[in-house]
Amino acid sequence: MMNSVLIVTNFNAGRKKAVKYKKRVIDFVLKHTKTFKCVNIDELTTIDVSEYDTILTMGGDGTVNKLLPFIINTDKVLGIIPTGTANLLASKLGISSDLNKALKCIESGKIKEIDCLNVNEQNCILRCGFGWDSDIICKTPQSLKNKFGYFAYFIAGILFALRLKTKEYDIKFDNEQTKIKASCIIIANASNMYKNLVSVADNSYLDDGITDVFILKTTNPVLFFIEFILTLLKIRKNSTRAEYRHAKNIIIENNWIASHIDGEKHNIKENVNITVNPKSVKVFAPL
């Protein structure tokens, strides 16, 4: 299956596990092919990615996002070795953070085709977020992430929930135009948060051709935590606190929205246009 392999590392991701894993991953690749190259994520634009049929990544969700332009709508297959802080895509796919298990998943050769979102021509494999969700991703200090790992986002989520603010959004969901005052909007391909502990959508799949939308309306911390507990209990109902939707196409009329796309900060000046690119990425994953 793996005739030519490109290994893409991100030594800064997570707690720098990629540094420890590099030799073992190269040894694994050598069992399957002699045609391979290992580069850091920063070197990706300096090589001809078209020469490789398999891309193995050692990094987190941000590393996967940077690889998307090279693999989307192609026959290249992505192998994920989770070494990032969150590893949400790997968790959603059922890929273990244990190196041996992740390599066995790749070796099995089982391939899943998954959706990708297009956000103003920017590829998005997980989610984009506005308001509270954006604050968590963009304002959690790297020092905190290095010290506490993914739990740092949980700490930041609680702290930012104590100072929620609303913003009015004009949004078109498919053919429905509406005004919404919200403290947080999450538009997700993968709706899981905090590994797979919380999901902001019911029956969310990576290959269903739709986005899952979570809209938090309240600024009251107590009401927020009630909604959080309900999501933990898998109780998701539209109320004055929150709203749950599905859509294939979303347009948000914009007035300088601060957001994140797959964990990377973006200050978007124009309207936000989000569409689904169905089954556009091939990835090794348990079926």
**Cα separation, 109 vs 111, whole angstroms:** 6
Number of structural domains the chain divides into: 2
Which of 131, 133, 89, 96 lies closest to 112, judged by CA? 89
Same domain as 202, residue 132 = yes
Same domain as 37, residue 58 = yes
- Could you tell me the mean pLDDT of each successive run of 10 residues in the chain, 287 residues long? 92 74 94 95 92 95 93 97 90 95 96 97 94 89 78 87 92 96 95 86 92 96 93 92 96 83 86 96 95
Q: Hey, what are 242's tokens?
A: 């929150």
284 domain-assigned: no
116 domain-assigned: no
Q: Which pLDDT does position 65 carry in this prediction? A: 92
* Cα atoms found within 13 Å of the Cα of residue 134, Cβ hemisphere only: 21
Which of 75, 67, 52 lies closest to 5, judged by CA? 52
pTM for this structure? 0.90
Q: Which pLDDT does position 179 carry in this prediction? A: 95
Q: Hey, what are 187's tokens?
A: 């538009």
Range of the domain at 259: 122-278
27 domain-assigned: yes
- Residue 90 is given by DSSP the state H
Q: Which pLDDT does position 52 carry in this prediction? A: 97
CATH number of the domain within which 102 lies: 3.40.50.10330
Same domain as 255, residue 173 = yes
Q: Which pLDDT does position 173 carry in this prediction? A: 97
Q: Which pLDDT does position 149 carry in this prediction? A: 74
Same domain as 158, residue 105 = no
Same domain as 249, residue 223 = yes
CB 79 within 8 Å of CB 283: yes
The residues facing 119 across adjacent strands are 122, 274
**Cα separation, 119 vs 154, whole angstroms:** 26
**Cα separation, 144 vs 158, whole angstroms:** 14
Query: b or e along 39-67 (b: 16 or more beta carbons within 10 Å of the residue's beta carbon)?
Result: eebeebeeeebeebbbbbbbbbbbbbbbb
**Cα separation, 105 vs 96, whole angstroms:** 9
Q: Which pLDDT does position 15 carry in this prediction? A: 62
Same domain as 64, residue 152 = no
Among 109, 137, 154, which residue terminates a domain?
Answer: 109
Among 109, 131, 149, which residue terminates a domain?
Answer: 109
Same domain as 138, residue 253 = yes
117 domain-assigned: no
